[in-house]
Amino acid sequence: MAVRVQREDFDPGAEIAALTAGNTAVGGLAVFVGLVREMAENRQLSAMTLEHYPGMTEKMLERIEAEAKERWPLEASLIIHRHGRLEPGERIVLVAAASPHRDAAFDACRFLIDWLKTQAPFWKLEEDSKGTGTWVEARESDEEAAGRWQ
């Protein structure tokens, strides 16, 4: 189980290879990679800045990951979340869940990203093409998605 919060980009292929290397108990691996969109609520975005509270953020991600391990038989999992200023098309987050069975991998991966979106202390500032910044409010759809796991 691993959690990283970093400014640097990541290579999903290399991360997945490292996560599953030598673990022949893994029968299914589910992966989600989140990217910065170019549009948000009919506005053209030029960048998104992600801020976090160091130490607190990692602890919350570790709690979310531990919860997934309690709910599903996971062989391995990984959460990488970037912070700093990112432009459209850049990777923000990688979530991976590996299990002997695909259903557990799918469910755990979806749980991890749903709870990360609603529970992890990240703040997002979207910058439009005019240079205007808007803080992103919690979305009802994210809360509904996370609610399915309660």
Per-residue model confidence (pLDDT) at position 78? 97
Cα separation, 141 vs 9, whole angstroms? 27
Distance, CA of 141 to CA of 131 (rounded, Å): 27
102-119 and 140-147 helices, crossing angle to 10°:
140
Structure confidence at residue 62 (pLDDT): 96
DSSP 8-state secondary structure symbol assigned to residue 1: -
Q: What does 47-83 look like in DSSP terms, one character per residue? A: EEEEEE-TTHHHHHHHHHHHHHHHHS--SEEEEEEE-
Residue 103: helix, strand or coil by DSSP? Answer: helix
How high is the pLDDT of residue 40?
Answer: 79
Per-residue pLDDT of the chain (150 residues; tens, 9 = 90+): 699 999 999 999 999 999 999 999 999 999 999 999 998 777 889 999 999 999 999 999 999 999 999 999 999 999 999 999 999 999 999 999 999 999 999 999 999 999 998 889 999 999 988 888 888 887 787 788 778 888
CATH number of the domain enclosing 124:
3.90.1170.40
Query: What pLDDT does 1 receive?
Result: 62
Domains contained in the chain, number: 1
Q: What is the pLDDT of residue 90?
A: 98
Q: Which range marks the domain in which residue 16 is found?
A: 2-147
Q: Are 102 and 31 in contact (CB under 8 A)?
A: no
**Tokens representing 89?**
């098309």
